[in-house]
Amino acid sequence: MKTSRKKQLLGEFVRHARARITPQMAGLSGGQRRRTPGLRREEVALLCDISVTWYTWIEQGRDVAVSAHVWSKLADVLHLNKVERAYLFELADVIDPDVAKSQYGSLPSYLAECVNAVNGPCYILDKYWNILYFNPQLDQLFDGCLSQVEQANLLVFIFQEPKAKNIVLNWEERAKRAVSEFRADIVVSIEEPEVVRFIDDLSQKSETFKYWWDRQTVLAREGGLREFMHPVLGYQEYEQLTFRLATHLEYKLVMLLPH
């Protein structure tokens, strides 16, 4: 089995974390006095429902296939905090299944203030691509379409709003890419009932969305030039920037800066 630098770091991190945990912290009997601090490998393997050999390979930095569920159990057994857990999953190259569940919440008021402070169209997206907050400049750019609905959603605007094809220049290219970027974004929550319902509903209402969704294309979100044709203001050109907040990973702050 191959050993990469990342796997070596992972093994060292897990080994040191194990040394911090006493049997009592893990809900085990202390038993006889131990020569070395922390849990034994056999105890961690037992608590994680994996073989001792498999766990030993993890600490040795070997390239072994371990499910997200096992990594999650290991993080719990080792009492990892939020930052340590994220570090573990990053080194393991596995998506933490609890990220979306644990971090998703109401929109902090200061984020809305940030949006209003931007001198240009600006908005905040959640994992469903709901537009949680937008400034007047964005609503004006989209010809008032966002303020006319109870909950604006970027994909719904792109694929169900008749004005979108006229407002968004290169609509087909932008719409196709949006589907691929959304697929990359939503993979952590793809089995959630709300996500399944949203995708099914949009697929029923838009054959174009369904066609591109079924193509299974995945792309990272990119910035760059964004062109629009406003019915009154005419041609508008912006540079798009997207930021993911370190303290609220489920939110994206998107700014359109005038050229």
State which of 79, 97, 115 marks the end of a domain. 97
Both 119 and 191 in one domain: the answer is yes
Token couple for 169 = 């220049």
Angle at 172 between CA 206 and CA 258, to 5 degrees: 120
With tokens 């608590």, the residue in question is 47
State which of 27, 62, 97 marks the end of a domain. 97
CA distance 208 to 77: 46
Both 147 and 245 in one domain: the answer is yes
Both 28 and 147 in one domain: the answer is no
CATH at 68: 1.10.260.40
Both 123 and 50 in one domain: the answer is no
pTM greater than 0.75: no
CA distance 185 to 128: 9
Both 64 and 129 in one domain: the answer is no
82: containing domain: 5-97
Contacting residues for 188 by C-beta, under 8 A, at least 6 apart: 95, 96, 97, 99, 100, 127
- The tens place of each residue's pLDDT in the chain, 259 residues long, gives 445 788 899 999 999 999 999 888 888 876 666 677 789 899 999 999 999 999 999 999 998 888 888 999 999 999 999 889 988 988 888 878 776 444 445 667 788 888 999 999 999 998 899 999 999 999 999 999 999 998 999 999 999 999 999 999 999 999 999 999 999 888 878 888 889 999 999 999 999 999 999 999 999 888 899 999 999 999 999 999 999 877 777 789 999 999 8
Q: Do residues 239 and 259 touch, judged by C-beta distance below 8 A?
A: yes
Number of domains in the chain: 2
DSSP string, 168-207: BTTHHHHHHHHHHHHHHHHGGGTTSHHHHHHHHHHHHH-H
Angle between helices 5-20 and 52-59 (to 10 degrees): 110
